[in-house]
């Protein structure tokens, strides 16, 4: 186990290193003078000189990278020349919104997917299983942007739940009820997408697990069906579920921008799109780096959880 | 391995039907729907459709009628005609990108799994590192910097972004197949690598490949819709399903048809693709190859 | 009905038929036998003979769908055929328990072995957490597991096959069952471990006053440990009798073939074992005659056309199903 964790951490460091190189190069891949790209053609020579020095553009590229990496390791992702704000503090302000949104959506998704998959797997191809299966399959084919449109169209407009405009977003600390109201729509949207994946993965694994001999063994002990499902079948069936959750949550961090953009929730995704539109390349670079590292970290954490849940894996 | 024999005794006869899962009529309805969309996209010019760009200011935001089957949008363009023309973008992006993704990913994945050794190690680590990057952000970043945007550029970027995923699926599938007895038999009989790869391995991984391809196409089409929302897809006034849904947002309360019909077109198309892919996978019983 | 009082288990005309895509599959047909308290009976047959399905049907553990069970199983006076799951659940563990054949698959891989023993004690016997743990460790000791307190915390994957099978036995014993169904309890194990496990079962049976149904494909396993033997072929009993009768006065050619195909210490070295020619029949396409006829060197036309019923042999309790039985005078083998 310890050896496994060490190996994974080394791999993690390697991947983060490569991500940092990739993020760093993102700007250098652009054609033209970097200072002009970053600050725009109208930048003053003084600002250009400042940036030139900051990026160490007079030095060889690998040195520039290490200068940049050194700054990043000190939490300095640069200062946006558009907003004049530090990239790190912009990200620090936006990230909690993503995390809250993801957290709520995942609670909803698991709360629906687990009991429904349990119910479905008990009688595969039974009526309930067929209904759940058809429903989840249909939802699988509805992209999140359409979910939002439909939710806004059929629920939000009718019920008067806030659905658009940055002004409607309220921080959790200032008014948590208003905050949850503004989170309802995006969280439900993300939850639907996650639910479909979790339900389908867990159902098929549960069905496979229920064929196993140790389930018959548990049955022969005379314990209840309910106990067999939760105590014996659930845990060995949750490996793929956790794997899917890792990928999916990473995907929400990276792909949450659709929902945020449409509902004007000022999270990382929203900030990223805004930065792209304003050609705020330093901010784009910062967000790409932070999100990529975040995705890798989430996968790492879930790998770790999987190992705890199923002790067979690290032994292999 | 006596346990295997005995467990077969209890389960195989009972629960494992030897027959392949039937495809069913719904499968063929879905195939028909996809075919219909293809025909519409190809023959849009020839079909008696209204000009998708023509703005009829006399009828703005009207509901479905005989004259405008699906109604008109906020500048009086015929929604039905725009949906038929819009399918061109979705189909081109979906199948085009997967053509690139599979064109590169399949040979690499098959070679890596067949050759193993150093080529496999290097190739696989490289692809897995690429997979660690959030592809969607990379796609957006590149598309936003690579101006002016065009359909071809979108296809290229998404296509290349999908290569690592395709590689992983194909490699896993090939690995599973290449340990089978008939492949080993072919090797022992001295068949050339080329022959084994093309005549033995390729047909056997094709079912997995095709079902993944269809699901991949569906994913890419949804992604194109997302890009349209961010203004990163084909630029208006060219209709695409994503564009249309995006444009509908501002008039949602006035004209819900503008949102509903393109959404329906998109969802039905995706549903059909997913359904065909899923059925094929069941039919060929490839679920045990974890993708 | 006095049977029900004296006998722990009365199986009568038991049939188990699976519904498959290829039609009905009779895995067990018309099986009848009884088992007294504190007795061990052996059920012997090749794989595919229906002995595993039989042992599960007796317990009522058959799959819940696509299966039809007819006949009667009286377990300590309780009818198991047609009983509801909750009725059977009340008997499982305390009246009857099963030792599964493959300890690699029958233990929950992600649950500590102690918890798997605790479960029966706590859920079925209502013990407190602490009592259950103490008892579980006692059980682990009883089945001969060294340093049981440590093994209590182990995952199945951390134990050897023999140890795992001992754990499986400990779980089966947790509810102090009156009847223990042992379904090929040693098949998945090394030969050296096999004897240990079988001796353990034998020993426990006497100490805990249990009856045991020992299912196996290996006649050597049942020779010294059972009082009676049931020989099965294609889902039917083809010979039944006391262990001694079956070994030395068997009448059914199939029993003879089984005996010839198992290795014996008395054989000279390099003796070639006699394999039974052909394969067990496809249960979906059984003929009207004796199922063994296609592989039997004594088979006549009648054998192929008409199925022999069980008929009594000279010895009490000994019966066989054969048109051309082996002569009684044959005092074979040692």
The least confident of A44-48, B4-8, B276-280, C272-276 is B4-8
The total of structural domains in chain C comes to 2
Comparing CB atoms, the residue among C93, C107, C111 nearest residue A222 is: C93
Place of tokens 């020095």: A53
Q: Which phi and psi (to 5°) does residue C171 adopt?
A: -65, -45
As given in the structure block, the two tokens for residue C263 are: 């290795």
Taking CB atoms within 8 Å and a gap of at least 24, the contacts of C156-162 are C156/C103, C156/C107, C156/C108, C156/C109, C156/C111, C156/C113, C157/A311, C157/A312, C157/A315, C157/C109, C159/C113, C161/C103, C161/C104, C161/C188, C161/C189, C161/C190, C161/C193, C162/C189, C162/C190, C162/C193, C162/C196, C162/C197
Q: Does A150 share its domain with A37?
A: no
Mutation to test the B interface, candidates C26, C47, C101, most B Cβ within 10 Å: C47
Q: Kindly determine whether residue A26 and residue B141, on different chains, have CB atoms separated by under 8 Å.
A: yes
Range of the structural domain that residue C143 is part of: 101-176
Is A252 within the bounds of a domain?
yes
> Using CA atoms, how far apart are residues B259 and B245, in angstroms rounded to an integer?
5
The span from the CA of C210 to the CA of C37, in Å, is 7
Same domain, yes or no: C309 and C219: yes
Name the E strands within chain C. 7-20, 23-36, 40-44, 67-75, 78-79, 96-99, 179-183, 211-216, 228-233, 236-242, 311-312, 319-320
Backbone angles phi, psi at C44, to 5 degrees: -120, 140
Rounded alpha-carbon distances, angstroms, from residue C108 to A233, A306, C89, C93: 9, 16, 19, 17
The arithmetic mean of pLDDT across residues B27-56, rounded, is: 84
Q: Identify whether residues A32 and A117 lie together within a single domain.
A: no
**C67: which 2 tokens?**
């299966």
Contact status of C114 with chain A (Cβ, < 8 Å): no
Q: Quick one: A16 and A60 in the same domain?
A: yes
Contact in structure between C296 and C228 (CB atoms under 8 Å): no
Sign of CA dihedral C168, C228, C9, C203: negative
The answer to whether residues C260 and C139 belong to one domain is no
**In the numeric block, which tokens belong to residue A181?**
């109201």
Q: How far is CA A263 from the centre of its chain?
A: 17
Range of weakest confidence among A60-69, B259-268, C290-299: A60-69
Domain containing A42 equals 2-73
Residue C151 belongs to a domain:
yes
Residues C79 and C137 in one domain: no
A50 domain-assigned: yes
Residue A35 within a domain: yes
Contacts of B229 in chain A (CB under 8 A): 145, 258, 261-262
Asked whether residue A168 falls in the same domain as residue A261, the answer is: yes
Burial (CB count <10 Å: 0-12, 13-18, 19+), residue A285: buried
* B32-41, B52-61, C43-52: least confident range: B52-61
Question: Measured between alpha carbons, how far is A191 from B246 in angstroms, rounded to an integer?
Answer: 22
Same domain, A58 and A197: no
Residue of C nearest to B17 (CA): C21
Interface contact flag, A255 B134, Cβ < 8 Å: yes
Q: Do A221 and C175 touch (CB under 8 A)?
A: yes
Best of A146, A151, A185, A215 to mutate (most B CBs within 10 Å, chain B):
A146
Cβ separation of A295 and B134 shorter than 8 Å?
A: yes
Cβ–Cβ < 8 Å for C9, C73: yes
A278 touches chain B (CB under 8 A): no
Name the residue facing A146 among B137, B144, B245 (closest C-beta): B245
Residue C136 domain flag: yes
Residue B17 forms contact with C (CB below 8 Å): yes
Structure tokens at C143: 């089945």
For the cut 50, the answer to whether the pLDDT of residue B17 exceeds it is no
Domain count, chain A: 2
Cβ neighbours of B45 (radius 10 Å): 7
pLDDT (0 to 100) of residue A163: 52
Model confidence at A109: pLDDT above 90: yes
Ranges under pLDDT 50 in chain C? 1-4, 331-334
Residue A144, φ and ψ in degrees, nearest 5: -55, -35
On whether both C231 and C89 belong to a single domain, the answer is yes
Residue of B nearest to C19 (CA): B14
**pLDDT at res. A277:** 77
State residue A299's pLDDT score. Answer: 84
* Coil/strand/helix, residue B286: coil
Which one of A20, A40, A73 terminates a domain?
A73
The answer to whether residue A213 sits within a structural domain is: yes
Do A118 and A201 sit in the same domain of this protein? yes
pLDDT at A95 > cutoff 80: yes
Same domain, A141 and A47: no
Kindly compute the dihedral angle of the four CA atoms of residues A156, A160, A162, A164, in this order, to the nearest 10 degrees. Answer: 60
Chain B residues with beta carbon closer than 8 angstroms to that of A22: 133
Last residue of a domain, one of C151, C176, C201: C176
Nearest chain B Cα distance for residue C174, angstroms: 25
Cβ atoms A248, A149 nearer than 8 A: no
How many CB atoms are closer than 10 A to CB C93? 26
What pLDDT score was predicted for residue C333? 46
Question: What phi, psi does C213 have (nearest 5°)?
Answer: -105, 115
pLDDT per residue over B191-213, tens digit each?
788 888 888 888 888 888 888 89
Does a structural domain hold residue A85? Answer: no
Q: Is B85 exposed, middle or buried (0-12, 13-18, 19+ CB in 10 A)?
A: buried
Q: How far does B99 lie from chain A, in Å, by closest CA?
A: 21
Say whether both C48 and C154 belong to one domain: no
Determine the distance in angstroms separating the CA of C27 from the nearest CA of chain B, rounded to an integer. Answer: 9
Domain boundary among C176, C198, C229: C176
Q: In terms of Cα–Cα distance, which of A126, A302, A105 is closest to A196?
A: A105
Q: Give the pLDDT band (50/70/90) at residue B51.
A: confident
DSSP letter string, A107-147: HHHHHHHHHHHHHHHHSTTSHHHHHHHHHHHHHHTS-HHHH
Shared-domain flag, residues A65 and A96: no
Q: Is the Cβ pair C101, B13 closer than 8 Å?
A: no
Are the beta carbons of C21 and B17 separated by less than 8 Å? yes
- Taking the C-alpha atoms of residue A37 and residue A30, their distance in angstroms, rounded to an integer, is 8
C183 shares a domain with C150? no
C270: Cβ contacts below 8 Å, ≥ 6 apart: none
Are C71 and C183 members of one domain?
A: yes
Using alpha carbons, select from C277, C234, C254, C243 the residue that is nearest to residue C323.
Answer: C254
C168 CB near a chain A CB, below 8 Å? yes
Q: How far apart are CA C229 and CA B119, in angstroms?
A: 60
Q: Is the domain of A47 the same as that of A174?
A: no
Convert the pLDDT of each residue in A188-200 to its tens digit. 889 998 999 999 9
Report, in angstroms and rounded to the nearest whole number, the Rg of chain B calculated over CA atoms.
23
Are A19 and A129 contained in the same domain? Answer: no
A292 DSSP β-pair partners: none
| One domain, residues C83 and C216 | yes
My answer on whether A154 and A25 are in the same domain is no
Peptide bond into B251 cis (omega under 30): no
Flag if C120 and A222 touch (Cβ within 8 Å): yes
Q: How confident is the model at residue B5 (pLDDT cuts 50, 70, 90)?
A: very low
Q: Average of pLDDT values for A62-69?
A: 81
> What 8-state DSSP symbol labels residue C122?
I
Same structural domain for residues C293 and C225? yes
Q: Do the domain assignments include residue A48?
A: yes
B108: enclosing H helix or E strand: helix B79-115
d(CA B218, CA B208): 16
State the residue for tokens 């957290």: A103
- Residue C106 and residue A311: Cβ atoms within 8 Å? no
Identify whether residues A184 and A257 lie together within a single domain: yes
User: What are A233-291's pLDDT values in tens digits?
Assistant: 998 888 889 988 988 898 888 877 888 888 888 888 888 888 877 777 788 888 888 88
Condensed to tens digits (0 to 9), the pLDDT of residues C193-226 reads 888 888 888 888 888 889 999 998 888 888 888 9
- Residue C293: strand pairing partners: none
Is the residue at C283 inside a domain? yes
- Which of B15, B218, B263 is closest, CB to CB, to A146? B263
Chain A contact for B253, CB < 8 A? yes
Domain with residue C80: its CATH number is 3.40.50.300
Q: Cβ separation of A216 and C109 shorter than 8 Å?
A: no
User: What is the reported pLDDT for C283?
Assistant: 83
Radius of gyration of chain C (CA): 21
Which residue, among C120, C209, C210, C213, has the nearest Cα to C168 in the 3D structure?
Answer: C120
Of C88, C90, C100, the CB nearest to A217: C100
Rounded (5°) CA angle C179-C184-C190: 130
Cα four-point dihedral sign C233, C238, C243, C246: negative
Query: How many residue pairs from chains B and C have C-beta atoms closer than 8 A?
Result: 43
**N residues, chain A:** 316
CATH number at residue A160: 1.10.3720.10
Q: In what order do the strands lie in the sheet with C23-36?
A: C23-36, C7-20, C67-75, C78-79
Q: Sign of torsion, CA B117 B120 B126 B128? A: negative
- pLDDT at position A316 is 46
Q: Scan residues 10-39 of C and list those with Cβ closer than 8 Å to B.
A: 18, 20-22, 25, 27
Instruction: Name which of A70-84, B88-102, B114-128, C16-30 the model is least confident about.
Output: A70-84
Last residue in a domain, options A45, A73, A101: A73
Residues C66 and C183 placed together within one structural domain of the fold: yes
Contacts of C53 in chain B (CB under 8 A): 9-10
Q: Find chain B residues with C-beta within 8 A of C283's C-beta.
A: 13
| Whole-number Cα distances in Å, C170 to A223, A225, C129, C174 | 16, 22, 17, 6
Residue A244 lies in a domain: yes
B:120-139 residues touching chain A, CB 8 A cutoff: 129, 132-134, 136-138
Q: What subunits make at least 3 CB pairs under 8 angstroms with A?
A: B, C
Contacts of B275 in chain A (CB under 8 A): 137
Residue A78 maps to a domain? no
Tell me, yes or no, whether C58 and C29 share the same domain: yes
Residues A19-27 have a mean pLDDT of 79
C130 and C54 in one domain?
A: no
pLDDT of residue B6: 33
Task: Decide if B147 touches C, using CB distance below 8 A.
Answer: no
Of A39, A73, A107, which residue constitutes the final position of a domain? A73
Residue reference for tokens 């000791």 = C141
Q: Which residue has the higher pLDDT, B17 or B100?
A: B100
How much is the pLDDT for B9?
Answer: 36
CB contact at 8 A, B52 and B85: yes
Tell me the three state secondary structure of residue B140. helix
Burial annotation B166-186 (CB, 10 A radius, 16+ → b, else e): bbbbbbbbbbbbbeeeebeeb
Residue of A125, A221, A242 to mutate, interface with C, max C Cβ within 10 Å: A221
For the record, the structure tokens of C322 come out as: 């054969």
The per-residue pLDDT for C237 is: 92
* Rounded average pLDDT over A131-152: 87
In the prediction, which pLDDT does A314 show?
57
Choose between B13 and C64: higher pLDDT. C64
Q: Which range, of A108-117, B253-262, C246-255, averages the lowest pLDDT?
A: B253-262
- What integer is the mean pLDDT of A118-125? 88
Alpha-carbon gap, residue A300 to A9, rounded angstroms:
8
Closest CA to B97 of B195, B223, B197: B223
Preferred mutation among B132, B139, B168, B240 to probe A, highest tally of A CBs within 10 A: B132
């Amino acid at each position: 186990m310890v050896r496994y964790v060490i190996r994974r951490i080394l791999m993690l460091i390697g991947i983060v290193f490569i991500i940092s190189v990739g993020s760093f190069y993102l700007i250098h891949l652009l054609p033209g003078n970097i200072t002009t790209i970053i600050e725009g053609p109208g930048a003053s020579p003084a600002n250009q000189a400042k940036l030139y020095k900051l990026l160490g553009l007079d030095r060889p590229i690998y040195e520039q990278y290490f200068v940049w990496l050194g700054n990043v390791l000190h939490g300095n992702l640069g200062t946006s020349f558009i907003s004049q704000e530090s990239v790190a503090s912009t990200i620090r302000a936006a990230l909690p919104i993503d995390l809250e949104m993801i957290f709520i959506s995942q609670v909803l998704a698991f709360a629906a997917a687990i009991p429904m998959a349990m119910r479905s797997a008990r009688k595969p191809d039974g009526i309930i299983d067929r209904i759940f299966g058809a429903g989840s399959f249909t939802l699988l084919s509805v992209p999140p942007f359409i979910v939002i449109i439909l939710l806004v169209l059929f629920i939000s407009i009718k019920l008067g739940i806030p659905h658009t405009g940055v002004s409607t977003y309220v921080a959790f600390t200032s008014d948590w009820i208003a905050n949850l109201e503004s989170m309802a729509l995006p969280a439900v949207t993300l939850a639907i997408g996650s639910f479909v994946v979790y339900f389908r993965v867990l159902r098929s694994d549960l069905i496979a697990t229920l064929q196993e001999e140790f389930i018959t063994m548990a049955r022969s002990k005379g314990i209840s069906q309910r106990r067999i499902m939760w105590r014996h079948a659930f845990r060995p069936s949750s490996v793929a579920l956790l794997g899917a959750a890792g990928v999916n949550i990473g995907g929400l961090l990276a792909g949450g921008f659709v929902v945020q953009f449409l509902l004007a929730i000022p999270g990382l995704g929203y900030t990223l799109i805004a930065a792209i539109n304003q050609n705020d390349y330093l901010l784009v670079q910062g967000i790409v780096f932070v999100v990529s590292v975040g995705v890798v970290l989430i996968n790492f954490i879930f790998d770790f959880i999987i190992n705890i849940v199923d002790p067979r894996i690290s032994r292999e | 391995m006596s346990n295997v024999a005995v467990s077969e005794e209890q389960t195989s006869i009972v629960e494992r039907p030897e027959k392949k899962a039937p495809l069913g009529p719904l499968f063929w309805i879905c195939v028909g729907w996809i075919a219909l969309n293809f025909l519409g996209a190809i023959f849009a010019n020839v079909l008696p459709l209204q000009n998708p760009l023509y703005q009829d200011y006399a009828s703005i935001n009207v509901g479905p009628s005989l004259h405008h089957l699906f109604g008109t949008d906020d500048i009086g363009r015929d929604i039905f005609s725009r949906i038929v023309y819009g399918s061109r973008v979705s189909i081109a992006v979906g199948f085009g990108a997967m053509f690139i993704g599979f064109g590169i990913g399949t040979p690499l994945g098959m070679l890596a799994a067949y050759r193993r050794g150093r080529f496999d190690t290097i190739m696989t680590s490289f692809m897995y590192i690429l997979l660690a990057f959030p592809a969607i952000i990379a796609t957006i970043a590149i598309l936003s910097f690579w101006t002016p945007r065009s359909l071809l550029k979108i296809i290229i970027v998404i296509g290349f972004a999908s290569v690592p995923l395709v590689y992983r699926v194909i490699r896993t599938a090939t690995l599973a197949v290449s340990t089978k007895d008939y492949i080993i038999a072919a090797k022992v009989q001295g068949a050339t690598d080329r022959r084994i790869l093309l005549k033995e391995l390729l047909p056997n991984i094709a079912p997995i490949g095709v079902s993944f391809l269809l699901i991949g196409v569906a994913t890419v089409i949804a992604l194109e819709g997302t890009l349209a929302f961010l203004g990163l897809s084909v630029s208006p006034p060219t209709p695409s399903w994503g564009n249309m849904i995006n444009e509908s947002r501002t008039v949602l309360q006035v004209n819900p048809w503008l949102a509903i019909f393109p959404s329906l077109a998109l969802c039905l198309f995706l549903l059909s693709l997913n359904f065909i892919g899923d059925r094929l996978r069941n039919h060929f019983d490839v679920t045990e190859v974890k993708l | 009905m006095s049977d029900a009082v004296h006998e722990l288990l009365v199986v009568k005309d038991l049939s188990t038929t699976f519904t498959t895509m290829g039609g009905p599959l009779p895995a067990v047909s018309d099986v009848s036998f009884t088992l007294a308290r504190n007795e061990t009976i052996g059920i012997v047959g090749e794989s595919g003979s229906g002995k595993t399905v039989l042992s599960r049907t007796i317990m009522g553990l058959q799959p819940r769908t696509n299966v039809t069970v007819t006949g009667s199983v009286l377990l300590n006076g309780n009818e198991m055929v047609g009983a509801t799951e909750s009725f059977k659940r009340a008997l499982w563990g305390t009246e009857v328990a099963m030792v599964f054949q493959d300890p690699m698959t029958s233990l929950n891989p992600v649950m500590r072995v102690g918890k798997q023993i605790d479960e029966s004690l706590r859920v079925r016997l209502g013990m407190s957490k602490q009592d259950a743990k103490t008892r579980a460790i006692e059980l682990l000791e009883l089945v001969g597991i060294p340093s049981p307190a440590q093994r209590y915390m182990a995952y199945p994957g951390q134990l050897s096959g023999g140890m795992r099978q001992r754990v499986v036995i400990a779980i089966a014993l947790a509810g102090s069952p009156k009847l223990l169904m042992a379904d090929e309890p040693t098949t998945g194990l090394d030969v050296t471990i096999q004897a240990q496990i079988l001796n353990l079962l034998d020993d426990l049976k006497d100490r805990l006053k249990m009856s045991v149904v020992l299912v196996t494909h290996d006649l050597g396993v049942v020779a010294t440990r059972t009082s009676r033997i049931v020989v099965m072929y294609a889902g039917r009993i083809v010979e039944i009798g006391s262990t001694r009768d079956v070994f030395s006065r068997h009448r059914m050619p199939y029993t003879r073939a089984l005996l010839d195909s198992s290795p014996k210490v008395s054989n000279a070295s390099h003796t070639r074992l006699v394999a039974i020619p052909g394969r067990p029949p496809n249960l979906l396409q059984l003929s009207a005659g004796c199922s063994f006829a296609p592989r039997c060197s004594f088979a006549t036309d009648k054998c192929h056309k008409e199925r022999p019923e069980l008929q009594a042999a000279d010895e009490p309790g000994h019966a066989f199903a054969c048109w051309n039985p082996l002569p009684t005078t044959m005092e074979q083998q040692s």
